[in-house]
Structure 1
Amino acid sequence: MTQQEVIRAACVGQPFREVAGDGFSLGGFVWQHAEPDPQRAVVIINAATSVRCRFYSRFADYLYAHGFDVLTYDYRGIGESRPTSLRGFAASWSDWGAVDFEAMLGRARREFAGQPIDVVGHSFGGCALALAPTATQVRRVVTMGAQFAYWRDYALGQRLQLLAKWHVAMPLLTRLYGYFPGKRLGWMEDTPAGVVRDWTTRTHRYELRPSGQGLGRLPAGGGKAAILAISLTDDPFGTVAAIERLLGYFEQSRRVHLRISPREIGEREVGHFAFFHSRFEARLWPIALGWLRQGEVSTEAPGTLIQAPL
């Protein structure tokens, strides 16, 4: 076994609880090296909407084996942070970013004092970055398919199908049950009603969604963090328009958009979720690793670099 394989075999994410600023207890897992190192970054992984943090464990193993400390966590209402009942449970996308992700930033500063803080954001997890007040302290960011579900940005060939599923069926079922019963449908995890309201509001601006009222432009904007936005050409959510709509909020950041076709890595499809599957460890994960280490995209990386929005 190589040294990295030995490190990974010995690593298991350790559970933790973190109390957010409003008193809500969040659950997550930490991969932490025995000795502190001010040169070692700690990476916080922000999940997609209603995807459990356990989904990212193999990717966290990979980052840990390559020298990072890593935090994964579940937003309130999901997985390790789910209350006894979701019926009537108050939670929104803005809560997930401004309170829950903010709590993880606080934990990173406390438990990994003096270390740089990096972020990996999947789907909504990239938007969460812009909502946390102290995200201005983040050094580097990698996002995957990051957007906030404006329906007109969905891939043209699937737009009506996705509109019917996520913007018609989902809110109707949420109204019936008091939360979205996604798990029994096999769509995703059960989801708080407030998050569904944010997701299904058909507006092109985040601040016009229910929990975004009064925000104006997203307040933190991720500060001046260097952002690599990765998208796949077969991701019906992460179209060029959707990715760049979110990137437009990060006005002070250096932004790079890498657009990858599955064919360029010998695959027929990757979509919105498979980037984090371990079969892409050798073909896609090094792109994220290189950015987190050096803030650059290797000239050998697949895909096309797209000019970031002004």
Structure 2
Amino acid sequence: MNLQDTSSLAPTELAPSASGSPFKEPAADGYILGGFTWRHAHQDIARPVVIINAATSVRCRHYSRFADYLFANNFDVITYDYRGIGESRPASLKGLNATWSDWGALDFEAMLKRAQREFPGQPIDVVGHSFGGCAAGLGASGHLIRHLVTVGAQFAYWRDYAPAHRWRMFGKWHVVMPLVTMVCGYFPGKRLGWLEDTPAGVVRDWSTPTDRYEKRPSGRVIHAKHGWLPFANVSAKTLAISISDDPYGTIPAIERLLGYFTGGTTTHLRIEPKDIGEEEVGHFAFFRSPYQATLWPIALSWLQNGELAPDTPGRRVPRS
């Protein structure tokens, strides 16, 4: 079994932006989170602030060029790392009690509170990549979100993986990753070139197989620790972008997550690489700077207006 499928390798664009200023922010449980802020010199209550939620174990620096782009288009921007990752990593990951639900209910919630405090009166928008789209539904203050854009956002449920890649991905993420984590006490993803190093609890949430998924899944991981499922708090106008060659972001996977967002309107845009003159895009490339002219304007239009521009590439997936 070849586990080095390039479609799921971690991203490489990690240079910090010259525009982003570092910050530290405590979550409700006292854990100190690190991130960067892009702030215009003069406050404007009509100017939105965008929080960017990263994919699982992808550093927030991967999104710095996209943050620069939003900043240049008159947004303030916050990027941050979940506990255990990048700017929010402790000296050792062994024994760190961090889960997917912590990343949403504690860490993303802290960013919503920060945006409300640091940018009073300004609209709050969110961009969520992969798990970052799930995290957007987990904050108790989700009602603050005006516009939400998700990219390849899903629960990493193995039955939803693209059939051509499913068993290779199952072996990598649901067999090898948890076994290595059991030995090391955390997942040393950076050494393997797969992910950033990842807390054991997050690995458990991702890798544990289950058949207890319904059309709208039961939310076992999210319920397990914090005991509630606040997706319905989000009343934002939501755009879910999926790419046809993303082996994680299949139509069933995207629709499974969208089934939770019952409090607002949702649109699913499906893009094929050929729609933008490319042969492949995959799971990570959306936020890389070569796509500034083709993919980034789609997210920008939605953040600005809550609508797709008439010439937007791709097709809308009918919602059931």
Give the TM-score category using the shorter length.
over 0.9
Instruction: Map 1:218-229 to 2 at 5 A.
Output: 218-229=229-240
* Most deviating of 17-26 and 214-223: 214-223
Which residue matches 1:147?
Answer: 154
Structure 1 CA distance, aligned partners of 2:164 and 2:272?
A: 17
Which residue matches 2:4?
Answer: none
Structure 2 CA distance, aligned partners of 1:80 and 1:271?
A: 26
2:128 pairs with 121, 132, 135, which one? 121
CA-CA distance at 1:214 after TM superposition:
6.9
**Aligned residue-pair number:** 299
Change (3 A) 1:206 1:48: farther
Change (3 A) 1:242 1:71: same
Which residue matches 1:244?
Answer: 255
Instruction: Map 1:33-44 to 2 at 5 A.
Output: 33-44=40-51
Which residue matches 1:182?
Answer: 189
Q: Say yes or no: does 1:53 pair with 2:60.
A: yes
Structure 1 CA distance, aligned partners of 2:225 and 2:84?
A: 24
**SS in structure 1 opposite 2:279?**
coil
Which residue matches 1:104?
Answer: 111
Structure 1 CA distance, aligned partners of 2:170 and 2:81?
A: 26
Which residue matches 1:289?
Answer: 300
Structure 1 CA distance, aligned partners of 2:226 and 2:86?
A: 28
Question: 2:124 touches 2:147 (CA, 8 Å); kept in 1?
Answer: yes
Change (3 A) 1:217 1:89: closer
Give the counterpart letter for 2:122 in structure 1: Q
Q: Say yes or no: does 1:24 pair with 2:35.
A: no
Question: 1:259 touches 1:303 (CA, 8 Å); kept in 2?
Answer: yes
Question: 1:275 touches 1:284 (CA, 8 Å); kept in 2?
Answer: yes
Could you tell me the TM-score, scaled by structure 2's length? 0.91
Which residue matches 1:302?
Answer: 313
Structure 1 CA distance, aligned partners of 2:196 and 2:298?
A: 28
Give the counterpart letter for 1:115 in structure 2: Q
Please report the RMSD computed on the Cα atoms of aligned residues, expressed in angstroms.
1.4
Give the counterpart letter for 1:248 in structure 2: G
Q: Say yes or no: does 1:207 pair with 2:219.
A: yes
Question: 1:105 touches 1:134 (CA, 8 Å); kept in 2?
Answer: yes
CA-CA distance at 1:227 after TM superposition:
0.3
CA-CA distance at 1:299 after TM superposition:
1.5
Instruction: List structure 1 segments (4+ residues) > 4 angstroms apart after TM superposition.
Output: 214-217
CA-CA distance at 1:218 after TM superposition:
2.1
**SS in structure 1 opposite 2:52?**
strand
What do residues 14-54 of structure 1 show as CA deviations (whole Å, max 9, x unaligned)? Answer: 00000111001000000000000010000000000000000
Structure 2 CA distance, aligned partners of 1:286 and 1:107?
A: 26
**SS in structure 2 opposite 1:27?**
strand
Give the counterpart letter for 1:50 in structure 2: S
Q: Say yes or no: does 1:265 pair with 2:281.
A: no
Which residue matches 2:9?
Answer: none
Question: 1:145 touches 1:229 (CA, 8 Å); kept in 2?
Answer: yes
Which residue matches 1:91?
Answer: 98
What do residues 248-271 of structure 1 show as CA deviations (whole Å, max 9, x unaligned)? Answer: 000121000000000111111000
CA-CA distance at 1:289 after TM superposition:
0.2
Could you tell me the TM-score, scaled by structure 1's length? 0.94
Question: 2:134 touches 2:257 (CA, 8 Å); kept in 1?
Answer: yes
Q: Say yes or no: does 1:72 pair with 2:84.
A: no
Change (3 A) 1:60 1:222: farther
Structure 1 CA distance, aligned partners of 2:264 and 2:186?
A: 36
**SS in structure 2 opposite 1:250?**
coil
Identity rate of aligned residues, in percent?
63
Structure 2 gap ranges (5+): 1-16
Structure 2 CA distance, aligned partners of 1:181 and 1:295?
A: 39
CA-CA distance at 1:308 after TM superposition:
2.7
Question: 1:247 touches 1:308 (CA, 8 Å); kept in 2?
Answer: no
